[in-house]
Chains A and B, each alone.
Chain A
């Protein structure tokens, strides 16, 4: 007898905003994991010698690197704010469906706003 099917088409299952926020939290963690090491190397390079600093200055003037930097900062911002939201919930607050929705919306909105500001600063 063949294995029974399982319905798990994520495109057909509604995800509330709190769930969407949680997925973004995971995605931002992966992004940070991937980007933090290269940018840490860049930071070390910049602080080691004048030549290194010039190289990093050049790198940071490239649009592709600027985009990666903004992505890293956006990820960090979102992960940080979302982490605080989760901590507040761990302490027993914002546990109703409505509070969960509002806090998720605020997390996304606030992170978006700060990311826009970072975008302006980096450029």
Chain B
């Protein structure tokens, strides 16, 4: 039985992608009814916990439950998002909630995907400050204007919602860096303290790394932090074109 501390209860049909590597069976959608409070809006992650009370074998990642750790990225009624900050009122249609793993990545178990491809692409952009200035043990000063350039970039929590919503990443996960990695690439390219700007651009100058983005904006549409990877990618493209001219 579900246990929720409320008087007003309604029933939600929830359908969850299930896959158990130990059985070797094909993935299937498990349907169940869960009782949810009708007098308040709960999050998708809460609904998953209620489902897990009925079937403890349901597996999913979660940690902070407030949109900071980025571990509970999943496909909710067809759209990627973080379970912990997605209210049911935003996604439930006809009293039905379908939850699947992030698209395009190998499924480890149920809603847990193997993020290796995603992380490998992130590693490629060298997501750390590179400076050829002598390290005197002090911080590197930056003007307020230069610091402002990092807004809208540094906030990425690497949940993977954007890259796994991107068709270019689905078809070329090893060659196209994907929106998340490219947003971070631009974050370091635009950092006034970083001195490896040209090297970073050299690394991106091929047919796949950046130019596989066709600006369809799926990444912007799903980003739980409201960031705009398409814009960052276009800025990188413009820099590459300017360099070439």
Residues of A within 8 A of B (CB): 1-8, 12-16, 18-19, 21-22, 25, 86, 89-90, 92, 95-97, 100
User: Does B150 lie at the interface of the complex (its beta carbon under 8 Å from any beta carbon of A)?
Assistant: no
A30, chain B: closest CB distance, angstroms: 15
Which residues on B sit within 8 Å (CB–CB) of A100? 215, 217, 220, 230
Can you sample 28 A-B contacts with CB below 8 Å? A2-B24, A4-B114, A6-B105, A7-B101, A7-B104, A8-B170, A12-B75, A12-B78, A13-B165, A16-B216, A16-B221, A18-B215, A18-B218, A19-B217, A22-B216, A86-B214, A86-B215, A90-B237, A92-B235, A92-B238, A95-B228, A95-B231, A95-B234, A96-B220, A97-B217, A97-B221, A100-B215, A100-B217
Are the C-beta atoms of A89 and B234 separated by less than 8 Å? yes
Are the C-beta atoms of B26 and A5 separated by less than 8 Å? yes
Are the C-beta atoms of B101 and A16 separated by less than 8 Å? no
Are the C-beta atoms of B98 and A12 separated by less than 8 Å? yes
Residues of B within 8 A of A (CB): 17, 19, 21, 24, 26-27, 75, 77-79, 98, 100-108, 114, 165, 167, 170, 214-218, 220-221, 228, 230-231, 234-235, 237-238
Which residues on B sit within 8 Å (CB–CB) of A8? 103-104, 170
List the A residue with the shortest CB-CB distance to B235.
A92
**What is the CA–CA distance of A3 and B107 in the complex, to the nearest angstrom?**
10
List the A residue with the shortest CB-CB distance to B21.
A4
Determine which residue in A13, A15, A96 has the highest number of CB atoms from chain B within 10 A of its CB, and name it.
Answer: A13
* From B17, B165, B216, B237, contact of A7 by CB (8 A): B17
Which residues on A sit within 8 Å (CB–CB) of B108? 4
A22-B214 contact in complex given A7-B107, A95-B230, C-beta closer than 8 Å: yes
**What is the CA–CA distance of A4 and B108 in the complex, to the nearest angstrom?**
7
Are the C-beta atoms of B79 and A89 separated by less than 8 Å? no
Are the C-beta atoms of B234 and A19 separated by less than 8 Å? no
Given contacts A90-B215, A92-B235, 15 further A-B contacts (CB under 8 A): A3-B106, A4-B21, A4-B114, A5-B106, A6-B103, A7-B107, A8-B170, A12-B100, A13-B165, A15-B218, A18-B215, A19-B218, A22-B214, A89-B234, A95-B231
**What is the CA–CA distance of A44 and B221 in the complex, to the nearest angstrom?**
47
B227, chain A: closest CB distance, angstroms: 11
B166, chain A: closest CB distance, angstroms: 9
A29, chain B: closest CB distance, angstroms: 12
Are the C-beta atoms of B234 and A5 separated by less than 8 Å? no
Determine which residue in B27, B79, B220 has the highest number of CB atoms from chain A within 10 A of its CB, and name it.
Answer: B220
Which 10 A-B residue pairs are closest in the complex by CB-CB distance? A14-B78, A4-B106, A22-B216, A19-B216, A100-B217, A95-B231, A18-B217, A14-B79, A97-B220, A16-B221
